[in-house]
Amino acid sequence: MDEIDRVISQLYQSISFDRGDRPRLDMLRHIFLPEGVLINNKGDDPLIFSVDRFIDVVEERVRQGALEEFEEREVWSRTEHFGRIAQRFSTYEARFNRKDPKPSSFGINSIQLIKLGSAWMIVSIIWNDETGEMRIPGKYLPEHKSH
């Protein structure tokens, strides 16, 4: 697994957790630049979070019992890079019950990275969930299949 794949794997691992466990959100601080941002762009107005603010929001939802388990995993990706910059287009499926055979949502993460020394770090992640009106094009799905 190359370094970019490792960082992306850590991203998904950091937010996924089983019932009774807690997400490993501190891992985000190791794979993001301190100035990094996470942007939820699925609504009319984007929700923009610093890494610390994102961690606080998720931890609060877990504390309140509003988020008991979660899994997000990459089902297709394409990475482009030039020199010390990279872009990962990552199609994901997410579940609020990890045992549910049908995902709660599908979407695309657009992840920007830069290389610092020998390490790749995430600068930003922007995501958009699929909706009934906005379907993920087949070219961004495994084996170009619809779901």
pLDDT digits (tens, 9 = 90+) for 59-86: 999 999 999 999 999 999 999 999 999 9
Percentage of residues of the chain with pLDDT beyond 70: 97
Domains of the chain: 3-131 (3.10.450.50)
> Is the pLDDT score of 32 beyond 80?
yes
Q: In what order do the strands lie in the sheet with 47-50?
A: 47-50, 32-40, 119-129, 105-116, 85-95, 71-82
pLDDT digits (tens, 9 = 90+) for 98-118: 889 999 999 999 999 999 999
Give the pLDDT confidence score for residue 112 in this predicted structure: 98
b/e map 26-54, b = 16+ CB within 10 Å: eebeebbeeebbbbbeeeeeeeebebeeb
